[in-house]
Structure 1
Amino acid sequence: MTSPSSPQPNLEDNLQRWNELCAKAQKLMSDQFQRMAAGERPLSIPDPEIVAATFGRWWQQAAGNPQPLIKNQMAFWLDYAELWQRSLGQWWLARPAEPVAAPPAGDKRFKDEMWAQNALFDFTKQAYLLASRHIQTTVDDVEGLDPHTAQQVAFYTRQLVDALAPTNFVATNPAALKATLETGGENLISGLSHMLEDLERNNGRLMPKMTDLDAFRLGENIATTPGKVVFRNALIELIQYAPSTEKVHQRPLLVVPPWINKFYILDLKPKNSLIKWLVDQGHTTFVISWVNPDETLRHKNFEDYLREGTLAALKAIEEETGQHQVNVAAYCIGGTLLAATLAWLAAQGEDRVASATFFTTLLDFSDVGELSVFIDDAQIRKIEEYMAEKGFLEGHQMANVFNMLRENDLIWSFVVNNYLLGKAPMPFDLLYWNCDSTRMPAAMHSFYLRNMYLENKLCQPGGITLGGVPIDLGKIEVPAYFISAREDHIAPWKSTYAGARKLSGPVRFVLGGSGHIAGIVNPPSANKYGYSTNPALPGSPEQWLEQATAHEGSWWLDWAKWVEAHQGKLVAARTPGRKLKPLEDAPGSYVKIRL
């Protein structure tokens, strides 16, 4: 029932909207059936058949040794009985009771005060947390599984129990119930509308919208640092940014972003733009903007990304500035390519790079954290079969994988906000970028998955060959700066540390706070997260951390001091296009190609 002060819902309008939404839903279902009848079979990551086979192996081990299951079942019954006992005392005797189960620190799902104040919701919450804990414990306690299967089962189980959280359903979410009563159900009508819009926009895939996709325009309110595209080929546009200082450092700086995402994560708004900050520090800054490939680029491989990416950019920068040596900074898979480039150059006896900076970069893939759940021969073959037909891996499939690593924050929170509460997501530049995913060419992605993630060949001397050159990271003597993030779930910092120790030159390893994105996009003005340094590189990351010194503020300032030795003297500012003809204004055309 709505309160007297609440606006009365217009039942006739709501009925009309409901009928329109039902008609729209029917059309979407019809379209989906037509696609299926036409033989369209989208790739699912993880694949349901592989998930089923994984749980089948788990059940075989569990059935052969049922004692852990029986033990955990008894423990669950005892905990559940205690929950009933305490809850009954709280309900009938008004007796305060300590919770049997409490959400872990940082769990935002149960932040609504009704989860603690209302006895029924408190019981629902604790019953769910108990069941969730015991289900996951039961899964983990089964012995005899190989480590990869055990990790997969644990991951898939977590996805299931998080999907079944009471917060994800109207009837058991106090905030959703309150909104339904206050609006006369308009929140649910709006939520259905949002869901159908998402299905329509994503061609039948249910991917909740994370932000207002109409709130940002590249080159207008994000990616606004002035510059020119001065070079273009099939894979890259090379952007040279306009100077903001009268003098600049002699050696230019090339930034190599990942091609799994678009470069403007480093140039969102001026206040958190790393690119603008680099320009303001006097660096003649060049950035690679990777193409968003279609099926015509299916044959582009990792070697092409070397030749047409980093090597082409270095050549263009020398032609534009006259400088043979440059400093290079690279992010994630861009850093993986940079290391391969440095090893390739070393084998040729070339000294094109004065210093190398690696942002959250994996060179040793022996431990990639939860991403390894998706890495085995069977799953890669499924992806390769799909890419052989399509020519590329679609960006949303990679995005889904990364979102599943933080499912409550990146999936279920938006289900609740958009569909149950009926709210539109807020404008957020970082989430806009996160939704702007890119494709992976079939040949490159197959090489990357097999040679890096599956077989870990990059860190083996001569493990991979590019352009006829065996790649040996041990031949890299270029001074290197590694910045990793303590909470990174994509490039775990202990693994990036292992990669840093593969290089032969002087290495400075720095550990920042937060995760894969916020740990890097951390401007000094924000004064957040902090970072730790240790001039030594002992044998284990644990030793490094134990001996490290903690600092407040941004690692950007630490890097600025480190790179001083490699940036050369001051020279007159360089305006883009002195030698290379400007093709268009930054941020260019490639970055604007959306899926």
Structure 2
Amino acid sequence: MVHPMMSDTEEGERQALTVDRLYHAGIGRFSLGLSPAALSLAAFDWGIHLAAQPGKQFALMEEAGRDAMRFGAYAAGRLTGTCPEPCAGPSSGEDDRFEGKQWQNFPYDLIHQGFLLTQQWWQSATTGVRGVTQHHEDVVRFLSRQVLDFYSPSNYLPTNPEVLEETVRQGGANLMRGFANALEDTERNLSERPPVGAEEWQVGEDLACTPGKVVYRNRVMELIQYEPATKTVYPEPVLIVPAWIMKYYILDLRPGRSLIEYLVNKGHTVFTISWKNPGRDDSNLGMDDYRRDGVMAALEAINHIVPERKVHSVGYCLGGTLLMLAAATMARDGDDRLASMTLLAAQADFTEPGELELFIDEGQVTFLEDMMWEQGYLDGSKMAGAFQLLRSNDLIYSRIIHDYLMGKRGSVIDLMAWNADTTRLPYRMHSEYLRRLFLNNDFVEGRYDVGGQPIHIGDIQLPTFAVGTEKDHIAPWRSVYKINRFLPQADVTFALTTGGHNAGIVTPPGHPRRTYRLHTRRVGELYLPPELYLEQVGSKTGSWWPDWEAWLRERSGSRVAPPPVGLTEGSYQPLAEAPGTYVKQR
């Protein structure tokens, strides 16, 4: 039936759009959320330009001929009993698939050398084709890597000498266990249960167990206030704004690995936001809803519980981006309730968003919007699948070899259990985030409006502590480092730590392998480019946590008696014991 306010043409277009969205949503269930149209467009851009460049084609044929000759010489040397130098090595220093001594024996040395030469040739074929956009080149290189990783000889029983040796030694028992492991994992995936071993970690018992109470709840978040662990505390409370892509307790893992516990034990009054895991009814929640009902509502609650005190604000990942939006809005409006701002692996500028850029263009965003339109949200499993593809060798195929071919089960650590506890993203919020920040970069380019009026990141004058991690595939440290450019009226301390997006942040004192660099740029001092930062700033051993806590302490007043945990009457009475109810939503 035609809507009474629509013409026949408009109704037809609406129905056509509905069909298209349902079609894309159906495809997305099997494509891990990747748009076939966007991937095909990148492949076409590369293919049509390569077809029109005979010089590049000839150079690739020359390279293939040289590779064949090198491989032939290597094979001949091996067959005649000499020990020739390998003709190819891993393209990445992190690729350890062929390091075992069994791979150096004939014929497996020939197998893996042939694979590595093929990998190198495809690297040459997918790069340096003039006329191809950088984004499409990155996508084609990513696609070729996925195909090559799939066909790697390390993934298959007949061509993996380590697996064959283990199979002979165990009489095939490893393959039987591996088959049972595969069946169990498949059953868990189909029933949407967590991976094997994750049930050993229970939220509120083993994880997220720092004592505290939920002192406020609304439609997007619960606010947790932690109980003091010292007789006196610093007067300025700390508010943590985590990302809602994953659950907040990445910052409150098991005792001894909890950043929240560390702050509380040092005498800080800590509040953290625990975001609701949104469902279909929350599809219309937008970025400003998270700012207003998240950051600003939390500040309002803290101002009542700890009155007349400024607040040290901390934002992690997307929570850090949201915190910057809130801080810029407060600066515009003359709201001076914040004492400082800490940004953990958080980006303001998205021109260099790292490998996630592979999945962000107009076609891909439209495809994701259609998927979210059907459900009202983006499922966490789709995001997890995309992240795994970025490091398929480490996160997919190494597990296949270990669990299914070797028949082993690794223990699940706290960080892995947290990573398996996925969340969803509301339709409207994710669409606004991708379009306004990733695609258009509105915030740092001065086009982001709040309440109909523009906000500017440069208006923020808060002392700022920013942390980047060297191996971050989500928020590359050079992108995080740009905060030094955007806050000319603020002192900025930047810490660069070893590790990745999560492990580099969860770095308690005593970590045996962590190092970090620390540098402060004062207002009026010259900007230090990232290359000079690496050259001039020395490396320290250990965790960055103590330096950050000392930085907070320097910007805090003399210690006082702890404030109450919630109020005895009114809107901010304790509602539940930490970690609350939202964090346990599936």
Q: Identify which of 85, 98, 120 aligns with 1:133.
A: 120
SS at match of 2:272: strand
Matched, 1:518 2:503: yes
1:121 and 1:174 in contact (8 A); partners too? yes
Is contact 2:175-2:407 (8 Å) kept?
yes
Matches within 5 A, 1:333-344: 333-344=318-329
The answer to whether the 8 A contact 1:418-1:424 is kept is: yes
Instruction: Tell me whether 165-174 or 355-364 shows the greater mean CA deviation.
Output: 165-174
Deviation, 1:77, is 3.0
Q: Is 2:477 aligned against 1:493?
A: yes
Taking only aligned residues, the RMSD between alpha carbons, in angstroms, comes to 2.1
Query: What's 2:205 paired with?
Result: 220
- Distance in 2 (alpha carbons) for counterparts of 1:121 and 1:553: 41
Which residue in the other structure is 1:581 paired with?
573
The one of 372, 376, 388 aligned to 2:357: 372
- What is the CA–CA distance in structure 2 between the aligned matches of 1:467 and 1:312, rounded to whole Å? 16
Contact residue 298 and residue 392 of structure 1 kept, 8 A: yes
Per-residue CA deviation, residues 458-479 of structure 1 (Å, 9 max, x unaligned), is 1122x11123342211111111
For residues 181 and 323 of structure 1, do their structure 2 counterparts lie closer, same or farther at Cα, with a shift above 3 Å needed? farther
What pairs with 1:244-263 in structure 2 (closer than 5 Å)? 244-263=229-248
Q: Name which of structure 1's ranges 570-579 and 555-564 shifts more when overlaid on structure 2.
A: 570-579
Q: Which residue is equivalent to 2:461?
A: 477
Check 1:409–1:266 CA distance in 2 against 1; reply closer, same or farther (3 A cut). Answer: same
Q: Deviations over 1:51-80 (max 9, x none)?
A: 223212211111111332332233223223
Identify the match of residue 556 of structure 1 among 545, 552, 562. 545
The Cα of 1:576 is off from its aligned counterpart by 2.0
Partner of residue 259, structure 2 = 274
Matches within 5 A, 1:84-163: 84-91=72-79, 93-103=80-90, 104-116=92-104, 118-163=105-150
Query: Which runs of no fewer than 5 residues in structure 2 stay unpaired?
Result: 1-21
Contact 2:466/2:494 (CA < 8 Å) preserved in 1?
Answer: yes
CA contact 2:252–2:261 (8 Å) conserved in 1: yes
- Matches of 2:541 and 2:308 in 1, distance apart? 35
Q: Name the residue aligned to 1:242.
A: 227
- Partner of 1:67 in structure 2? 55
The counterpart of 2:311, out of the listed 326, 338, 345, is 326
C-alpha displacement of 1:40: 4.5
- Which of 182-191 and 243-252 deviates more? 182-191
Tell me which of 33, 42, 46 is aligned to 2:28. 42
Q: Which amino acid aligns with 2:371?
A: Y
| Residue in structure 2 matched with residue 427 of structure 1 by the alignment | 412
Which residue type is aligned with residue 387 of structure 1?
A: M
Q: 1:425 to 1:211 in 2, by over 3 A?
A: farther
Once the two structures are superposed, residues 279-332 of structure 1 have per-residue CA deviations (whole angstroms, 9 ceiling, x without a partner) of 111111111111111001000000000111000111111222224411111101
Q: Distance in 2 between matches of 1:575 and 1:168?
A: 57
1:21 — aligned with what? Answer: none
The residue type paired with residue 112 of structure 2 is K
Deviation of 1:202 after TM superposition, in Å, equals 2.6
Cα gap change, 1:180/1:332 in structure 2, threshold over 3 Å: closer, same or farther? same
Q: What is residue 452 of structure 1 aligned with on the other side?
A: 437
Report the more deviating stretch, 518-527 or 127-136: 518-527
SS of match in other structure, 1:100:
coil
In 2: Cα distance, 1:370 partner to 1:384 partner: 20
- Whichever residue aligns with residue 244 of structure 2, its letter is W
Deviations 1:342-389 (A, max 9, x none): 111112211111011000110011111221111111110111111111
Cα distance, 1:403 vs structure 2 = 1.9
Task: Select 2:532's aligned residue among 519, 524, 543.
Answer: 543
Tell me which of 536, 555, 559 is aligned to 1:566. 555
Partner of 1:593: 585
Number of the residue aligned with 2:4: none
CA contact (8 A) 2:236 2:310 kept: yes
- Secondary structure of the 1:287 match is strand
Tell me if structure 2 keeps the 8 A contact 1:459–1:499.
Answer: no
Q: CA–CA distance in 2 between the matches of 1:442 and 1:346? A: 29
Give the superposition deviation at 1:491: 0.7
8 Å contact from structure 2 (residues 498, 504) kept in 1: yes
Q: Give the 5 Å matches for 1:272-421.
A: 272-421=257-406
Q: Distance in 1 between matches of 2:496 and 2:196?
A: 30
Q: Which amino acid aligns with 1:175?
A: E
Structure-2 change in CA distance of 1:52 and 1:187 (3 Å): farther
**TM-score, with structure 2 as normaliser:** 0.90
Question: What secondary structure is seen at the aligned counterpart in 2 of 1:248?
Answer: coil
Contact 2:35–2:363 at 8 Å: present in 1 too?
no
2:46 corresponds in structure 1 to 58
**Deviations 1:571-592 (CA, angstroms, capped at 9, x unpaired):** 1134523443222221111111
TM-score (norm 1): 0.89
3-state SS of 2:256 partner: helix
TM-fit CA distance, 1:179:
3.1
- Asked whether the equivalents of residues 211 and 431 of structure 1 are also in contact (C-alpha less than 8 Å), the reply is no
Residues 332-341 or 59-68, more deviating: 59-68
Give me the whole-angstrom Cα distance separating, in 1, the residues matched to 2:255 and 2:26. Answer: 43
Moved more, 193-202 or 402-411: 193-202
- Once structures 1 and 2 are overlaid, which stretch shifts more, 267-276 or 67-76? 67-76
**What code does the residue aligned with 1:131 have?**
T
Q: Using the alignment, how far apart are the partners of 1:203 and 1:69 within structure 2?
A: 46
Distance in 2 (CA, whole Å) between partners of 1:587 and 1:189 is 41
Cα distance in structure 2, aligned partners of 1:554 and 1:311:
31
Aligned length: 553
Secondary structure of 2:466's match? strand
State the Cα deviation string for residues 476-519 of structure 1 (Å, max 9, x = none): 11111111112211111111121342123221122122221121
Which deviations, in whole Å up to 9, do the C-alpha atoms of 1:82-107 show, x marking residues without a partner? 2232233223x321221111234332
Residues 260-295 of structure 1: per-residue CA shift (max 9 Å, x gap):
111111111212111110111111111111111100
Higher mean C-alpha deviation, range 137-146 or range 189-198: 189-198
